[in-house]
Amino acid sequence: MLMKKFTLTLTFLLSAIAGVAADVVIWEGSLAGNLDFKVGEDLHTTLISNVKAGDVLNVSYSGAGEENKLWLQNSDWDTYDNSVTGVTTDILTVGNGVYTINMSQAFIDGIKVNGLKLRRSSGATYSFTKVTVSEGQNPQPGDDNPQQGDDTPGIITVWEGNQSESIYLTPGSDLYNKMIGDASGQANLTAGDKIKFYYTNAEEGTEIWLQANWDGLSGENSMPTISGDGEHEFYVNEADLAMIKENGLRFRIGKGSCTFTKIEVVKANQVGPTTEGEITVWEGELAGNLRFMPGDANYDKLTANLGAMDVIKFYYTGAAEGDQVWFQNIDWSNLVNIDPSTPTIAAGDGSYEFSVNDKAVAEIIEKGIMLRRPSTASYTFTKVVVIKYVPDASILVPGEGENVLWSGSVKANSGKAFRYGDERANFIAALAVGKYLNVYMSNVVEGNQIYFKDVTTWDWINADQLNLKPGQQVYSYQITQEMIDRINVGTGDYGLLIQGKSEDTYEIRFVTISDNPISAGMASVISSKAIRHSYFDLQGRRVSPTAKGLIIKDGKKILNK
């Protein structure tokens, strides 16, 4: 054993003096059977620690007969595809010889996860005698080469080099982890992003088959045709992302030839102000469900910029008549604090926006939000922005001592309902005979009305006080036991809907409970109150003017020390 170690060391020294890199001996002996490099065993560790993409694996043998074959398999006896190994024949030369394999990163990644079995064909007569690794000359996928650079903002370089063979990002491999996400859980690839690959010397009509395992990606993503030198990019929808996460991604040269030079993830959700007061939290093209879920980069960008009374606005193209969007959480349940939770959007290209109150923000922070596209819908999401709420000094806001049950912004013809879950329970618990239910509004015009309807019978509770005055900013209604009984039925569908007529477009902004009625006067009557300063924390909750830390005064952030 000592002599063998000395001989190997001497070989390295002599090779270094001659300026030639020495082969690394991985295994040596005589084995007339299958040679297995099993994950977790020393032989596997020795191989993986000494081979990199672009190197050559040399398998020496003796005594091969006619038609003797060598199959490259994993430890489960599954043969590696030649698009991964790059070999063109499995038949050995008769007698003694060396079988060589140019090691691609895809093949190394497969061996790392699933091991390598050098399997003799049935009836073979040869014996394995040595396995060595020779240093390669050309950079291959994953090789540390001078062309590899840092990622530029918004672009993640997954691989850079030169390879004229198919590339396979095997689950668990370094390249896979670079594309899907790093060890700390950073989600590099999310739905709506683009994957871009670069190539040179593509034969006319070359087809690249983009596959997750052996299943093609969706639609036009599955088999692009290329030629010459260039690049090709494609959007990753939610279905493709799930397939890639489970099975990896194969850039397979299905027809023709080319040389791959680079693979990138192009992030489509860069954050940055667009127009005044708008913050873009996602941008791309996604004909599927758009998810902002805890742990995703999309979620972090949304929640970092979202506060109570802000507006979430999304843009889309290609909507058909009657298409809807559903606002759901990570459990695929409708978000109860966004009303309505399943609106119908306008046909064609357009946008839809909705306001979020403090409860909706908390709900999104806890379980995320999914802009769910029903399977029958035909539109494509293109952008999502947050429009920051800026309090208007001319708009009346609740005063001290009022119990704010809801804040936000909804059109009167859509209305605000207290109909489900904790929101309904908290609303009913706050009702007390003799107190006042107050609705704060803006943009009220002549002929506007307000309806309080119990959602069991849909009859008016306030039938004697329906009409609003132009410019009216608050409506107060005294609570009676009959009103409570109609709202709090306790079984089936029950609760309260606050709504205007179908043509009423004034804004409902706050719903509160108070001990005394709030003046229902005109803006001119309450102007002294309307221009008072308003103070909120970063979650949209009213605070005292002396509250410490970062607060919002009249729509502007200030720091109270």
DSSP 84: H
The one-digit pLDDT tens for each residue of the chain (561 residues) are: 333 333 344 444 444 444 445 789 999 999 999 999 988 888 888 998 888 877 889 999 999 998 898 989 888 888 887 666 767 667 888 899 898 888 877 788 778 878 899 999 888 999 999 999 987 644 443 333 323 334 455 678 888 888 888 888 888 787 888 888 754 444 578 776 788 899 999 999 899 988 887 777 765 557 888 999 988 887 777 677 888 888 889 898 988 999 999 998 887 644 333 445 678 888 888 888 898 988 777 787 888 788 777 889 999 999 999 999 999 988 888 888 786 678 889 899 999 988 887 778 888 988 899 999 998 999 999 999 988 776 555 667 787 778 888 877 778 888 888 988 888 998 999 999 999 999 998 889 999 999 999 999 999 999 888 899 988 889 999 999 999 999 998 888 899 999 999 889 888 888 999 998 886 433 223 332 333 445 556 555 556 556 667 666 655 556 676
Count of structural domains within the chain: 4
Q: Give a yes or no: residue 144 inside a domain.
A: no
| Structure tokens that stand for 302 in this block | 């949304």
Report the CATH number at residue 118: 2.60.120
The answer for residues whose C-beta is within 8 angstroms of residue 177's C-beta and 6 or more apart is 183
- pLDDT for 305 equals 80
- pLDDT for 414 equals 82
Among the candidates 387, 422, 445, a domain finishes at 387
Among the candidates 387, 414, 441, a domain finishes at 387
Same domain, 513 and 442: yes
Q: Give a yes or no: residue 395 inside a domain.
A: no
Same domain, 436 and 329: no
Q: Is the link from the previous residue into 340 a cis peptide, with omega within 30 of 0?
A: yes
Q: Give a yes or no: residue 262 inside a domain.
A: yes
- pLDDT for 540 equals 54
Supply the pTM of this predicted model: 0.39
Distances (CA, A) of 5 to 1, 13, 31, 247, 356: 6, 13, 21, 42, 71
DSSP 69: B
Helix boundaries (H) for 353-480? 358-367, 421-430
Beta strand spans in 455-525 (E): 474-478, 496-499, 507-514
Please report which helix (H) or strand (E) contains residue 95, including its range. Answer: strand 95-102
DSSP 391: -
Helix H, strand E, coil C: the string for 295-344 is CCHHHHHHHHCCCCCCEEEEEEEEECCCCECEEECCCCCECCCCCCCCCE
Q: Give a yes or no: residue 363 inside a domain.
A: yes
CB of 188 closer than 8 Å to CB of 245:
no
d(CA 543, CA 396): 16
Q: Give a yes or no: residue 145 inside a domain.
A: no
Please report which helix (H) or strand (E) contains residue 4, including its range. Answer: helix 2-18
d(CA 36, CA 47): 11
d(CA 289, CA 252): 28
Same domain, 418 and 522: yes
Q: N- to C-terminal Cα distance for the chain?
A: 74
Same domain, 288 and 355: yes
Q: Give a yes or no: residue 248 inside a domain.
A: yes
Beta bridge partners of 75: none
Same domain, 283 and 258: no
- pLDDT for 113 equals 77
Same domain, 87 and 174: no
Containing structural domain, residue 69: 24-134
d(CA 368, CA 331): 9
Comparing CA positions, the residue from 399, 398, 352, 402 lying closest to residue 373 is: 352
Neighbours of 215 (CB within 10 A): 12
Beta bridge partners of 556: 553
Same domain, 361 and 291: yes
Same domain, 407 and 507: yes
